[in-house]
Chain A
Amino acid sequence: MPRCFIIDPADNVATMLDDAQASAKLEILGTGGGAVDLSAGENISLGHKVAIADIADGQGVIKYGVSIGLAAGMIRRGQWVHLHNCVSHVDQRSGTLDLHSGAATDTRYE
């Protein structure tokens, strides 16, 4: 069973310790072991975040007990949380990067 880890009890996301296929049931480690019966809503890679609660549009994405960004649109429990649905409070450029590779899309090569 793919594992994910909650670092702070106040968090609404967990970090994947293994790759998870869509609809895989997740084992939850760390401080939030109380949350049960969580499944991956889509493929989520190791190191990436899964929502462990519904997060409304404009609400804080909470990890380490602090807001690491704001939800850009409704995020459902079990969904992958990344550049496509979470925006930094301070960094404008990160929202323009390629979702999967993180590569800059605004640098011209010719």
Chain B
Amino acid sequence: MNNNAAVTWNGYLRPDGRKGVRNIVLVIYTVQCASHVAHGIAKDQEDVHVIGFPGCYDNEYAVRLMLALARHPNVGAVLSVGLGCEYTQPEKIAQVVRESGRPAEWFYIQDAGGTRAGIEKGVRLVTQLRQEIRRMAKRAPMTLADLCIGCECGGSDGTSGLAGNPVVGRFFDRLVDAGGQAIFEEIVEMIGLKDIILSRAADDQARLQLDAAYEKAVRYCQSVRQYSVSPGNFAGGLTTIEEKSMGAFAKSGSRGIQGVIKVAQTPPRAGLWLMDSVPDPHFMGFGYTNPNDTEGIMDLISAGCQMVLFVTGRGSVIGSPIAPLIKITGNSQTFKRMTEDIDFDAGAVLDGRMKMDQAAAALEELVVDVARGKLTKPEALGHREYFVMYKHQDTPPLQIGCRA
């Protein structure tokens, strides 16, 4: 049984009922032209994070993603900042956030009077928002059943599938058994494993969803002429996409998969879920599935993950805004070489220093500590990488376009 199922700590209860493990102010910029000012506003402020969308022409997918991030359980308040020419509307973002009960402000840099005036205005607004969310912060007890945790892997090597991902998989089993939500993605790294994936479906509906998502991923990979495997993966000893897939899929553990969610959707109930981040067909054919690890991590956070586990065999130095990133390696040499950046060494299971169950229990302890407020290594180093891109997914469909 799960020893930590009864462990409680105090989280942040949002007006919409979601429970977070951090209480941050999120600055959102609505076009690349506003990014300098947005980062200037957040500079040197531990609890002010930044995301934004670079495009001037708007994109339904990116808007859905930003709105999901803006109402994330760890987000207390939002400031959205636009330049003043772009399609994406900072005022609309602030409105939606206010409807969730969170305080929100917005402005255009052109109205504020330029770079310095914009930064000064933004710092003033962020200071007010911070005071407000500290004053209104409701604390509420949380348990593992209140957690939604995502897992991504990147910079994989031959150890990721032997140690890093299997330890996460064993932890995911414990989280699911405790009533929590676990999300994994990277379906393009499940190529060659269709029968194995379908055999994990919790019911017939989940099986149909997994089948459709798998076939879409195969068509996508074939059309871009590239499976999801990189030069570093090959140099690290992975020989085929099938080998990488088996190692990546190990992070899903052993429990039944409840179904498939898309980016910016939250799982409808407890259990293990697959996130489909693959673009749906669109006349422009735009949007890569996983252009980089940061993009996948943002997708997982958009589903409401209060923290994300990142398994890296070769070593990675990224972090994430909004939700703490816990970095795990199955390569003890990488851990020694990059201890400053990596939180957890799962390599101990390979040479018998630790049993798989012990490692999963140790990872769970770390997760609980982070939920209680302990900073992860990327958090402490100030890593807040984000990536919001043009993409198309079919929920909901675009209905209005240019006149013929």
Taking Cβ atoms with an 8 Å cutoff, the residues of A that contact B are: 3, 5, 7, 15-17, 29-30, 45-49, 61, 63-64, 66-69, 81-83, 86-91, 93-94, 97-98, 100-104
Query: Does any Cβ of A come within 8 Å of B393's Cβ?
Result: no
A69 contacts B239, C-beta separation under 8 Å: yes
Size range of the interface on B? Answer: 35 or more
Complex: chain A residue closest to B234, CB-CB: A102
- Which of chain B's residues have a CB closer than 8 A to the CB of A100? 235
Nearest CB to that of B233 among chain A residues? Answer: A102
A68: which B residues are within 8 A, CB to CB? 192, 239-240, 242-243, 246
A94 and B229 contact, CB distance less than 8 A = yes
Residue with the greatest number of chain A CB neighbours at <10 A, chosen from B161, B237, B247? B237
Report the minimum CB–CB distance from B218 to chain A (whole Å): 8
B225 / chain A contacts, CB cutoff of 8 Å = 93
Number of A-B residue pairs at CB separation under 8 A: 113
Cβ of B227 within 8 Å of any chain A Cβ, yes or no, is yes
With a CB–CB cut-off of 8 A, which chain B residues contact A88? 192, 239-242
- Closest B residue to A83 by CB, please name it: B239
> Given A94-B229, A97-B234, A104-B231, do A47 and B313 touch, yes or no (CB 8 Å)?
yes
List chain A residues, Cβ under 8 A from B246: 63-64, 66, 68
Q: Is B358 an interface residue (CB 8 A)?
A: no
Asked if A15 and B234 make an inter-chain contact with CB atoms under 8 angstroms apart, the answer reads no
Q: Which residues of A contact B159 (CB under 8 A)?
A: 15, 17, 46-47
Of residues 331 through 345 on chain B, the ones whose CB sits less than 8 Å from some CB of chain A are: 331, 333
B349 to chain A, nearest CB (A): 10
Residue pairs across A and B with Cβ atoms less than 8 A apart, 12 shown, are: A30-B350, A47-B157, A49-B237, A64-B246, A67-B242, A69-B242, A82-B234, A82-B237, A83-B239, A93-B225, A93-B227, A98-B231
Extra contacts besides A30-B162, A48-B158 (4): CB < 8 Å? A46-B331, A49-B239, A90-B227, A104-B231
Give Cα A83 to B192, complex, Å: 17
Complex: A66 Cα to B162 Cα, angstroms: 14
B227 to chain A: closest CB distance in Å?
5
- Specify which chain A residues have a CB less than 8 angstroms from the CB of B240 in the assembled complex: 68-69, 86-89, 91, 94
List B23-41 residues whose CB lies under 8 Å from chain A: none
Give which listed residue, A5, A82, A90, A97, contacts B242 with CB less than 8 A.
Answer: A90
Chain B residues, CB < 8 A from A66: 193, 196, 242, 246
In the bound complex, how far is the Cα of B239 from the Cα of A15, in angstroms? Answer: 11
Closest residue to B160 on the A side, CB-wise?
Answer: A47
**Chain B contacts of A46 at CB under 8 A?**
157-159, 237, 331, 333
A15 near B158: Cβ-Cβ < 8 Å: yes
A68 → B minimal CB distance (Å):
4
- Does the CB pair A90–B191 fall under 8 Å? yes
Which of B158, B227, B231 neighbours the largest number of chain A CB atoms within 10 Å of its CB? B158
